[in-house]
Copies of this chain bind each other. A is one copy, B any other.
């Protein structure tokens, strides 16, 4: 059975302007691989209603799961929840369950639950809340779209709670072989192995060493751990001399 597929949407002008280096994509990619969910595509879009709605619709139709990060805070540029609702023609308003979470959190911390913070209780009809153990304001799942915060500590906590609830596939096994040769020397034998074992995926990731010479990490992935190890061994022997 094929693994479930997924896409991610990173929402925020701060990533596209180069002000902030995204951390959530890298984190989620690793977690999905562990869970046996194949991340096939990531889109980074700006805080723009039309762009967000179009991307959500396209990705939701194409993949089993869509994970979003960013744009669910209290400020005027936090428009993700409303855009997700619009993408699915769902109603959205302050919802009692989310409001209760915020009330409890702010009562304990002695912070005023003002109109801006109330925005964080806006949840589309039919959505399930995603727990936020860091700062209370919840994410939510609407249809196959999982909406989470952009602040990395909150995003990671939400992923931690959400992933065990999703049905994953068989995690792929991967083995990495470092070869201290230029990719141009590796390409021939590697291509032949890739053709011989179409059930494995083989990728070559070149690097340049401090002394200027080149090498590559060859990553072999597949569901059959013994086969992955065997092919890694074959490749190692080719470049052993």
Contact = CB atoms under 8 A, between A and B. Distances in A.
Contacts of A114: 184-185, 188
A22 to B, nearest CB: 7
A190 B29 contact: no
A57 to B, nearest CB: 14
A23 B4 CA distance: 27
Interface in A212-226: 214, 219, 221
A85 B44 CA distance: 25
A34 B111 CA distance: 39
Contacts of A46: 40-41
A100 to B, nearest CB: 17
A18 B32 contact: yes
A144 to B, nearest CB: 18
Interface string A193-230: 01100000111111110000010000101000000000
A16 interface: yes
Contacts of A49: none
Query: DSSP majority for the A interface?
Result: mixed
A204 B18 contact: no
A43 to B, nearest CB: 5
Interface of A: 12-22, 25-33, 39-47, 51, 73-77, 111-117, 119-120, 134-135, 151, 153, 174, 182-188, 190-191, 194-195, 201-208, 214, 219, 221
Instruction: Report, nearest first, the 5 A-B pairs whose CB atoms are least far apart.
Output: A116-B187, A18-B30, A18-B29, A117-B184, A42-B44
A209 to B, nearest CB: 11
Nearest to A40: B46
B18 A26 contact: yes
Given A33-B17, A40-B46, A41-B45, A184 B111 contact: yes
B40 A51 contact: yes
B25 A44 contact: yes
Given A17-B39, A77-B194, 17 more contacts: A16-B39, A17-B221, A18-B27, A18-B29, A18-B30, A18-B32, A18-B39, A40-B51, A41-B46, A42-B44, A47-B203, A73-B187, A76-B202, A77-B204, A111-B182, A112-B184, A116-B186
